[in-house]
Amino acid sequence: MLKALVTAAESTLETSVSSVAVSAYDIGTIDHKLAKEDVHIALSELGVNSYNRLDHVVRQLAPALGLRGNCSEPYTLPDHPGYHDDPEQIFFAIDYTRDSLTAGLWKEECGAMEMTSRLNSADLGQTAMQTCRETAQNKETCEESFKSALRSVGANASREGNGEIGAVLAFGECADDEAMLTTLRQVLGEQFPNRDSDSVDLSLVRGFSPDPAFAGSRAMARTAWAARGSEHEVWHAEEL
């Protein structure tokens, strides 16, 4: 798979690919250490440099979209001129494809991100849902199963402060599916006070990547490029 992706990238860019950064969405269901080693070995065999990391897509999307908070250094007093404090945020992320529905609720504070609940289902992907709607005697059972799954993700959301949700990140090859988006709006409207059915903005990721299937990869590329620039600046400063 990695060979095919590298080949496709080289064909599209009309140049050779020398470095690759890899991200994943449902990273909680795999052995992170072994997966990172497998990626490193596979890329080495292709003669491509690996950034030696396997990170979560949402951890890349948040900074790429300017969502991640930025707080002052520890022990900085509130009366210090440079003091800055960002409140805790809640993000709802959903990766919707033909084959699966994967969703997670995230807490973010001062740039640190933690996924507090996760759902992965091969029974609720777009293809399975379309089949259910076409064959079920009662189509409402299909929609209720989908709603119930989404409700389970946000059921244990932190209610500190006003309990509002900061952002909704909808991506994946079927993230534009209207049935999914309608249901998502309804569920978020039930669970979060600032997210009624008319105010939920589900276009945030699409603004970053016109095709939501590539939102994660674009975010990862931007993060890796920014890190590379920072490393160059540090090296240059040391040389001086």
Q: Which CATH number is 198's domain given?
A: 3.30.420.40
For residue 224, what are the domain limits? 2-55+216-230
Q: Is the pLDDT of residue 53 over 70?
A: no
- Give the total number of structural domains in the chain: 2
Asked if residue 177 and residue 224 are part of one domain, the reply reads: no
Asked if residue 96 and residue 209 are part of one domain, the reply reads: yes
120 vs 86: which has the higher pLDDT? 120
Does residue 156 sit within a domain? yes
Asked if residue 198 and residue 161 are part of one domain, the reply reads: yes
pLDDT reported for residue 151: 93
Question: What crossing angle do the helices spanning 126-135 and 178-191 adopt, rounded to 10°?
Answer: 100
Compute the radius of gyration of the chain from its Cα atoms. Answer: 20
pLDDT reported for residue 30: 62
Mean pLDDT, residues 139-150: 92
Q: Is the pTM for the entire model greater than 0.95? A: no
Mean pLDDT, residues 57-70: 82
pLDDT reported for residue 196: 55
Asked if residue 130 and residue 96 are part of one domain, the reply reads: yes
Mean pLDDT, residues 109-129: 89
Asked if residue 140 and residue 27 are part of one domain, the reply reads: no
Asked if residue 152 and residue 136 are part of one domain, the reply reads: yes
Specify whether the CB–CB gap between 115 and 154 falls below 8 A: no
Asked if residue 122 and residue 44 are part of one domain, the reply reads: no
pLDDT reported for residue 166: 83
Model confidence pLDDT, tens digit, residues 158-181: 555 456 788 899 999 999 999 999
Tell which residue, 156, 160, 154, 145, has the closest CA to residue 195.
154
**Number of other CB atoms surrounding residue 30 within 10 Å:** 13
